[in-house]
Chains A and B, each alone.
Chain A
Amino acid sequence: MLKMTMSRKEHFILAGFLAPAIIVYTTFLLGPVLGSFFYSLTNWNGLYQTMDFVGLRNFVNLMEDGVFAKAIRNTMIFTVFVVLIQNAIGVPLALAMDSRIRSKQVLKTLFFVPAILSPLVVGYTWTYIYEPQNGVLNTILRTVGLTGWEQSWLGDPQFALYSIVVMAVWQFSGYSMVIYLANLQTIPGDLYEAADIDGAGKWQQFKSITFPLLAPSITINIVLSSIGTLKAFDIIYVTTKGGPYYATETMTTLLFSTAFTKSSFGYGTAMGVVMFFFVFIISLAQILLLRRREVH
């Protein structure tokens, strides 16, 4: 009996530990989001008090909306490219930083620098690099005689999305490297010594020791970069605003312009709801798949 009241008292105190966080989080994030779930069932324009309940009409319209389909496609292309390239660069960089080169401390610090910049600064920097007339990239191409390769990198629908992929990869490869490197340093050195004695080559060692033991950091890197890329907004908004001709329109930029610029708030939030489920399902699937690999 006494024990029961003790534990009830303890729950009561623990509720006090939780309450401030729950209140702030619910009031300023989850509550508004749930509000948006409700607005996605209306035709509210975000300004006036009046709105009608339209049921699932916004979602039905979304399925026939060619621009939204394009935004989903772009988001997927953007995410797949950024995640794959970023990790494909992150692993070898981490291996190099784990080797016996002398400058590794300094190099590690330098490779990480882009990750601390704001997407705004990254966006403006690359806008100038990609600028068709005086931009660095075209000037370099001209100087080495590759005039035919010059492009309006952010202005041409064919290249714009991939140009932004390069920006995102540039910014966050160092971040992936840091996480891989920490994982590499937990792999005991005698495993490699044993493999050396057994006569295993470097590639063989990477395949059967390093790569399997990197599983935890592969999981965390892929999930982190996927969520970050799916939700990316600033880096696109400050460079192309989704253009030209929707070439870089992703779910976040379309949501923003639909809800705020075009004042179709109900419709815009319906996009956000769809996007939430996308992110949720993709990250859940990744965690389950990659975790299973970790266990074996």
Chain B
Amino acid sequence: MLSTNKKMIWILEIKMIILALIALYPLLFIVSMTFKSSQEMALSPLSLPSSINFSNYAATWLQMRFPLVLGNTVLITAGSVTLLVLLGSMAAYPLARRAEKAYSIIYMYFLAGIMLPFQLAMVPLYKLINSMGMVNTYYGAMLIYTALNLPLAIFLYAGFLRTSPKELEEAAKIDGCSLFRAFWLAVFPIIKPVTATVVVLCSLNTWNDFIVPLLFLQDQSYRTITIELYMFVGEHVTNWALLFPGMVLSVLPLLLVYVFLQKYIIKGIAAGSLKG
């Protein structure tokens, strides 16, 4: 009995490893292509590269102005997510704690944003951003991303806060703390797990987004990784020798972060989704 059980686990293990290889094959394929010359790509697309040659990467690195666009992406993502955590957690607090009708109406007002297609906002938003002189500015993009992600952040924060105890903040208030101080001292530390979820989900959304930079960050010196890659494809349509390394470079920073933090990222996503 035991041995058949063990055998079944082994079979499952092997099946899953094969499945994972198939699932990751498209990515492994792209990586293998980056080391090939254009000729080798056309003649033997499926075989492993004949030599490990980084010259495609060097060319792409320069043409994509990689350090600049990476810096832009990091700055915009970090700024947006910081603003989002500050505004989102503070707003969720009264929405989760107060039962009055006004608060639940405001909560629904935020939640409506989850279902809105962003395309619906684009033209009026462009007019607005333009008239405020915020096209091609970092803070313009940050404010847009904050607004876009606020519904999700508030949903997650409020869901968590409703189930978490109030004793600490009551104690802080009795000790004479202002509500504002009580929030930062007694509430914000408790909701750290959701903050992790919000940071992960919204960093991914922001880092990978391509519509906002397409509309608002067209200027050479403000482009993010995705829009640079998109422009790059526009200019080099058939030149896969430059495109493949461009794709790998655009994914690499996120992949490295993922490799180091995968435990927290996966936990954060699962926790946030099930609590909310």
CB within 8 Å for A14 and B210 given contacts A36-B124, A125-B27, A265-B123:
no
**Chain A hits for B109, CB < 8 A:** 22, 30
Q: Does B163 interact with chain A (Cβ within 8 Å)? A: no
Contact between chains at A124 and B233 (CB < 8 Å):
yes
What string of 1s and 0s marks CB contacts (under 8 Å) between B81-124 and chain A?
A: 00100111011011100100000001001101111111111111
CB within 8 Å for A124 and B113 given contacts A13-B180, A17-B91, A234-B210:
no
Q: How many residues of B contact A (CB 8 A)?
A: 85
Contact with B276, one of A32, A220, A231 (Cβ below 8 angstroms): A220
CB within 8 Å for A21 and B123 given contacts A113-B24, A234-B211:
no
Q: Does B204 interact with chain A (Cβ within 8 Å)? A: yes
Contact between chains at B27 and A120 (CB < 8 Å):
no
Q: Does B54 interact with chain A (Cβ within 8 Å)? A: no
Contact residues of A between 175 and 192, Cβ < 8 Å to B: 175, 178-179, 181-183
B268 → A minimal CB distance (Å) = 10
B223 → A minimal CB distance (Å) = 13
**Chain A hits for B15, CB < 8 A:** 96
Contact between chains at B124 and A121 (CB < 8 Å):
no
Contact with B117, one of A21, A108, A126, A255 (Cβ below 8 angstroms): A255
Contact between chains at B147 and A25 (CB < 8 Å):
yes
> Chain A contact residues: over half helix, strand or loop, or mixed?
helix
Contact residues of B between 120 and 165, Cβ < 8 Å to A: 120-125, 128, 143-144, 146-148, 150-151, 154
CB within 8 Å for A134 and B146 given contacts A18-B91, A178-B269, A255-B117:
no
Contact between chains at A29 and B274 (CB < 8 Å):
no
Contact between chains at B274 and A18 (CB < 8 Å):
no
Contact between chains at B179 and A103 (CB < 8 Å):
no
Q: How many residues of A contact B (CB 8 A)?
A: 86
Which of A16, A101, A114, A126: most chain B CB closer than 10 A? Answer: A101
Q: Closest chain B residue to A114 by CB distance?
A: B23
Contact between chains at B24 and A276 (CB < 8 Å):
no
Cα of A181 to Cα of B208 in the assembled complex, Å? 25
B interface residues (Cβ-Cβ under 8 A, vs A): 9, 12-13, 15-17, 20, 23-24, 26-27, 29-30, 33, 41-42, 45-46, 83, 86-88, 90-91, 93-95, 98, 106, 109-110, 112-125, 128, 143-144, 146-148, 150-151, 154, 178-180, 183, 204, 207-211, 226, 229-230, 233, 240, 243, 247, 250-251, 254-255, 258, 262, 266-267, 269-271, 273-274, 276
